[in-house]
């Protein structure tokens, strides 16, 4: 009962403030601006913040979700072209084309490794840079079907380069053997 009375008191106080504001606003003969100079706020606390362009279309959004936060950038037509977000694994940054299709993404995967993927207009990854399961850096180039055709990486003996055909079969390779010497193979490289 006390809570209901408290709520009614707050509602009455709010209505009184609104009534005073309304009467002051209607008694003015000229237009009144709330502020003429920008105001600097020390802190804004909210769950979602939207910035809109002159047409009222959101061009930037910040919000909280179950995994953390999301920051999204939209073009002037409202299509999302970039975002940065938190996830259970860490974070990710995505870049979209003007149609809103994801073209590039940098993220942390479930196993804690990180990667960067560049996609073609069809959405197929064609260039991938990542940290392998053993902690080494790898760069892979893929064809339009997503099949790897070239890979370069660091392995226990040094660097390795593998060239594959459009079916993903290795046809040439270069690397470093266990003695620290260069080695290469054509047709069916084995390292």
Query: Would you list the domain boundaries of the chain?
Result: 40-98, 113-191
23-65 pLDDT, tens digit each: 555 555 555 555 667 787 888 888 899 999 999 999 999 999 8
Query: Residue 19: helix, strand or coil by DSSP?
Result: helix
67-89 pLDDT, tens digit each: 889 999 999 999 999 999 988 88
Residues 6+ apart with CB under 8 A from 184: 172, 173, 174, 175
* pTM for the whole structure: 0.66
Kindly indicate whether the domain formed by 113-191 is annotated with CATH number 3.90.930.1.
yes
């Amino acid at each position: 009962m006390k809570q209901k009375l408290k709520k009614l008191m707050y509602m009455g106080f709010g209505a009184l403030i609104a009534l005073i504001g309304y009467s002051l606003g209607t008694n003015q003969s000229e237009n009144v601006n709330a502020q003429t100079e920008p105001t600097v706020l020390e802190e804004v606390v909210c769950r979602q913040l939207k910035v809109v362009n002159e047409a009222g279309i959101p061009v930037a959004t910040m919000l909280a979700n179950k995994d953390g936060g999301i920051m999204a950038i939209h073009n002037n037509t409202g299509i999302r072209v970039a975002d940065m977000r938190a996830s259970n694994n860490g974070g990710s940054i995505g870049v979209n084309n003007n149609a809103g299709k994801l073209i590039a993404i940098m993220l942390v995967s479930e196993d804690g490794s990180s990667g960067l993927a560049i996609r073609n207009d069809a959405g197929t990854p064609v260039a991938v840079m990542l940290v392998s399961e053993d902690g080494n850096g790898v760069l892979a180039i893929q064809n339009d079907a997503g099949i790897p055709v070239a890979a370069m990486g660091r392995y226990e003996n040094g660097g390795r380069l593998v060239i594959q055909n459009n079916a993903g079969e290795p046809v040439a390779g270069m690397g470093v053997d266990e003695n620290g010497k260069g080695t290469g193979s054509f047709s069916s490289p084995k390292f």
